[in-house]
Amino acid sequence: MQVAIRHNPSFSVARLTLAPGEPAQVESGAMAAMAADTNVQAQMQGGLMKSLARGALGGESLFVTTYTAGQYGGWVDVAPTLPGDIVALPASPERAWNLSKGNWLANEWSVAIDTKWGGFGNLIGGAGGFLIRATGQGQILVACFGALDVHRLGPGERLVLDSGHLVAYTDGIAVSTHRIGLTMTSLKSGEGLVFEFTGPGEVLGQSRNPTAFISYLSAMGLGPQRS
């Protein structure tokens, strides 16, 4: 699978170019366009229980869509729901990734996705409590809300990141959660809850907080109106 990202950083779209008969896994609903002879199959990846965990706990769809190129090869364009950047991350047996809620977009067939507990910070900070874990050998496409920040931490180097701005981090990095500020407002909203990462490893952050954005729309009366 070859990846070409265009319209970045604000309205990124990724084109997955596939060899003849090559499949790719894509988040349900993320396809923007594709070659006409591409085969499409949606299924509960890993069975019902794993799909329920990924959907209800990890914040992704119950279904994963598999796009398989035709006999002459093909392509699929994928795009996230929120405006922002897309990055292709390399996974390997020595380098697994943990993705926050809603950030996984697609991956090569050789990469497996599953759900893992991400800590109390994810639960209160609006990330659902659970993370998507990507293992194997190949590329993972990750989307973010706004611009992407990459933090490469050396041994013992520390980083504090607001829970709503987390996109992904590598295995092996130490993670803890604590709160900055103890007001009743912050206790109710999750504001002020942060992750502290200790290297070595890599942490990806997003410049905008999806949960805060939704709260802003609701406060301004711009969200969905109920009859």
**Position 62 confidence tier, pLDDT thresholds 50, 70, 90:** low
- Residue 66 class from Cβ within 10 Å (0-12 exposed, 13-18 middle, 19+ buried)? middle
In a domain, 226, yes or no: no
**Is residue 225 in a domain?**
no
Share of the chain above pLDDT 90, in %: 60
User: Quick check: 45 pLDDT over 70?
Assistant: no
Residue 227 placed within a domain? no
Does some domain include residue 223? Answer: no
149-180 tens-digit pLDDT: 999 999 999 999 998 899 999 999 999 887 77
Q: Which two tokens stand for residue 9?
A: 């950083």
User: Is 224 part of a structural domain of the chain?
Assistant: no
- Rounded CA-CA distance 151/168 in Å is 10
Residue 16 C-alpha from the chain's centroid = 17
Q: Which residue has the higher pLDDT, 61 or 97?
A: 97
Expressed in angstroms, the distance from the first to the final Cα of the chain is 46
Higher pLDDT pick, 32 / 49: 32
pLDDT, tens only, 189-200: 455 678 999 999
What is the model's pTM? 0.81
In a domain, 162, yes or no: yes
Which pLDDT score, from 0 to 100, does residue 182 have? 56
Burial class (CB in 10 A: 0-12, 13-18, 19+), 78: buried
Task: Count up the domains in the chain and report the number.
Answer: 1
Element (H, E) at 206: strand 201-206
CATH number at residue 119: 3.60.160.10
User: Is the pLDDT assigned to residue 219 strictly greater than 50?
Assistant: yes
Domain that holds residue 84: 2-217
76: in domain = yes
In a domain, 222, yes or no: no
